[in-house]
Amino acid sequence: MADGHDPFALFDSWFAEARESEPAEPNAMALATATADGKPSVRMVLMKAHGPDGFTFYTHDRSRKGAEIAANPVAALLFHWKSLGRQVRIEGAVERVDAAEADAYFATRSRDSQLGAWASDQSQPLPERAAFEARFRDAQEKFAGMAVPRPRDWSGFRVVPEVFEFWTAREHRLHERRLFTRNADGWSEGLLYP
């Protein structure tokens, strides 16, 4: 399959351009999940890895997104690169990364980010900011002078694409939309009206 007809190669090309033109965090992506009964939610997360196996991000299992993924393991992603007039939508099943991959990524995080993962009860009610700051100090004391291990309930998730849509802005809202859909032979490609 030529690069122009391979959605992963096309994404790599667009992402390389976004890394040159976007002022901050070209790896920021909107992540949409839904409860088991279909109630949606969306938030921004950072893509930490990508390739033919999918698009990876990290979070707490007990976070809202973690709970929604456990109940309904499908998601949609959206990259929006305003400087390029482009966006990429991705839809697919969600799978957990293995422990070794999660451990390896966690080890690359700054120490304060590692400690923050221990201090945060992500998405749960917080009575006041001081409570979180106290938990952060407790984590600093607990792991003083030692490496910070990955919390058991903090892991990575990978969205395995079934659909890609590459959108390019054009004058007069005559935009271009290329749709790639996974099939038994690989990917089929078509266009959508803007």
Which sequence positions are flagged as catalytic? 173
**Which residue pairs from 13-18 have beta carbons closer than 8 angstroms and sit at least 24 positions apart in sequence?**
14/81, 14/84, 14/86, 14/88, 14/166, 15/50, 15/79, 17/81, 17/84, 18/79, 18/81, 18/83, 18/84, 18/86
Q: What 3-state class would DSSP assign to 80?
A: strand
**Distance separating alpha carbons of residues 42 and 44, to the nearest angstrom:** 7
